[in-house]
Structure 1
Amino acid sequence: MKSSSINASLDKGCLSATFIKMIALLCMTIDHIAAYSFEIAIIGRYSDLMRSFGRIAAPIFLYFVIESYKKTSNKERFLLRLYIAACIVGLCNYFASTVVLQSTVTFGNILHTFVWTIAIVYLFERLKKAYASKNYKSMIFSLCIAAIIVIALHYIEIGLLGLASTAATETSREIFWQSHKIFLAFFNSPRQVDYSFGFVALGVIWYLQKTKLVHCISFAGLWFVLGTFTYASSYFDVNYLHDISLPVMVIIVALIAIYNGERGRGMKYFFYIYYPVHCYIIVIVTKLMGYL
C-alpha cells in the first residue's frame, strides 16, 4: 500500500480528541493512585502495573496540546491561557501541600512542560516568519529575549536553592525554601520541568511533522532507539522512555492512529480542573486512612 493510501486511512480515524483524552485521563488517575497510595496493600501489590499503564497519559496529552496549538487561530492567547493554567495549578499545589495537607507530598505540574513546548514552537514560528521576510533584526531580538529568559530563570532558581542551603538561621532557610517553591509555581525553570526537556523535544518533533503516520513512526522510533540508552542530565532526560513498556507504546501509537482530527465536545476546562483536583482527593483519602 502506498504511503498516501496509509495516510488517507489514518486520517479517517474513529475517535475524537476528547474521547482519547478521557482514556488518557483514566490512565493518569490510575497512575496517580499508585503513586500516592502505594502503601495501601492492595494498591502496592499492583502499583508497578498501574504505573506502567499510567505512562499512556503524558504523551497523549502532549500530542493534543500540539494538535490544539496547530489549529488555534490565536497562538498568543493559547500560550497565555496555558501559562495561566500552569501558574494556577502550581499555586494550588503549593497551597495544598504546605497549608492544607502539611505533608512532604510533592505534586507534579506537567502544564509547565507544555508551556515550554509551546513557547519553543511559538519562537520557531516567529523566527521562521522573520527569516522569510528577511527581518534579521527581529530574529536576533527574539533569540536574545529567549536566551535572557532561560538564563534568568535558571540562575534565579539555582540562587534560591543556594540561599536556602547556606542560610544562617532556620527561619531564613525556611523563607528561601518557600520562596523557591513559589517561584517554581510561576516560573518553572528548564531544569525543573516534569519529564525534562527530552519530553519537550518530543512535542517539538511532533509539531514539525505533518501526518499522523509520521507521528506514529517517530514516537515508536524514539522508543526503540532512545529506550535502549540510559542518559540523564539536569535538563535532558530520555530515561522516561524506559518506563514505557512495549504494550503501552503500542497503545499510545494506536490512540494517535485512530484520532479522527475532530475536537469532540471540547471540555478543555474540565481537564485543567481535574488534573490537580483528583491528586488532592487521592492524597487526602490516603491520609485519612492513615497511610501518609
Structure 2
Amino acid sequence: MSSSTLKLIGILSMMIDHSAVTLFRLGFLNAWFGADSFKAYEVMRMMGRWAFPIFLFLLVEGFYHTRSVPRFASRLVIFAVISEVFFDYALFGALSPLSNVYFELALAVGMFAAFKWLGAAVPHKVVRGLLMAAVAVAIGLGAEFIHADYGINGIVAAAIFYVLRCHRKAQAVAVIPAFYFEGMPFTFLVAPLLYAYNGKRGLPLKYVFYAFYPVHLALLSLLEFIY
C-alpha cells in the first residue's frame, strides 16, 4: 500500500469525521435519521478515527524523506493559519480556542527535528532516551497550551511512531495503545493498513493532501451561513 493510498483513506476518514460534527450540530442528522441521529453521529465519528493515526504515520515518513525540514514545517504552519477560521466555524459555528490539527503536526515535526539532533549529539542511549522523553513532554505541554486538536496525546503518539519507525510491525501494533484515546474499535483496524505500507509514494498527492484540509472545512463552514 503506497503513501498516496494511505492519504486517500485518511482524507476520506477525516471528511466523514468532520462532516459528522457539522451535520449533527446543524441538525441535518436529526432531519435524516430522526431518533437514530446520535447513533449515526457516533458511527461516523468512529469511522473518522482512522484519520489521525494515518496522518501521523505519514508525517514521520515525510520527515525522513524531506529535503528541507524548515520548508516541511513551514508548509504545515502556513496551512494551519489558512485553515483555522474554517476549522472553527465548521466544527463549532464560531471562533474557538481549539487549534486545528496542522498546528499539532507542525509541533510534532519540531519534536522529530530535536529527536534527530539528539540521536547524533548524545551517544549514551539512556541519557538520549531521557532527553527525548523530556522534549516530548515539553512539546506536549506546548500543544496543550495552544489548545491543539489532540493535545499532549497526539504528541506522545507521534513520538511513539517516530521511535518505532524502523520496526514496522511494532509501529503498526503500537497504534492500539498510542491511539486508545481516539476510540475503539475502528482505530485498531488502522494497524494492518500501516503494516501494509510498501514505502512507495504512489500518486503525486502532496499538495492535494495539504489543500484538502482547508477546502473541505471551508465547504462545511459555509453550511453555518447558508442554513
Q: What is residue 192 of structure 1 aligned with on the other side?
A: 147
Q: Is 2:15 the counterpart of 1:33?
A: no
Q: Is 2:201 the counterpart of 1:245?
A: no
Structure 1 segment 67-146 matched on structure 2, within 5 A: 67-90=61-84, 92-93=85-86, 97=89, 103-104=93-94, 106=96, 109-132=100-123
Q: 2:148, 2:47 → 1: CA distance?
A: 22
Q: CA deviation at 1:191?
A: 4.5
Q: What is residue 4 of structure 2 aligned with on the other side?
A: 18
Q: CA deviation at 1:105?
A: 5.9
TM-score computed with the length of structure 2 as normaliser: 0.77
Identity among equivalent positions (%) equals: 25
Question: What one-letter code is carried by the residue in structure 1 that aligns with 2:46?
Answer: S
Q: 1:112, 1:47 → 2: CA distance?
A: 26
Distance 1:89 1:79, change over 3 A: same
Residues paired across the two proteins, number: 204
- RMSD between aligned alpha carbons? 3.0
- The SS at the match of 2:194 is helix
Unpaired runs of 5+ in structure 2? none
Q: 2:14, 2:168 → 1: CA distance?
A: 23
Q: Name the structure where helix makes up a greater proportion of residues.
A: 2
Q: 2:147, 2:23 → 1: CA distance?
A: 24
Q: 1:265, 1:108 → 2: CA distance?
A: 30
Unpaired runs of 5+ in structure 1? 1-14, 98-102, 133-138, 155-187, 228-239
Q: 1:211, 1:130 → 2: CA distance?
A: 23
Distance 1:189 1:221, change over 3 A: closer
Mapped contact 1:17–1:264 kept (Cα < 8 A): yes
Q: 1:55, 1:127 → 2: CA distance?
A: 32
Q: CA deviation at 1:49?
A: 0.5
TM-score computed with the length of structure 1 as normaliser: 0.61
Moved over 6 A (4+): none
Q: CA deviation at 1:216?
A: 1.2
Q: 1:222, 1:26 → 2: CA distance?
A: 22
Q: CA deviation at 1:217?
A: 1.8
Distance 1:219 1:258, change over 3 A: same
Q: What is residue 208 of structure 2 aligned with on the other side?
A: 270
Distance 1:198 1:284, change over 3 A: same
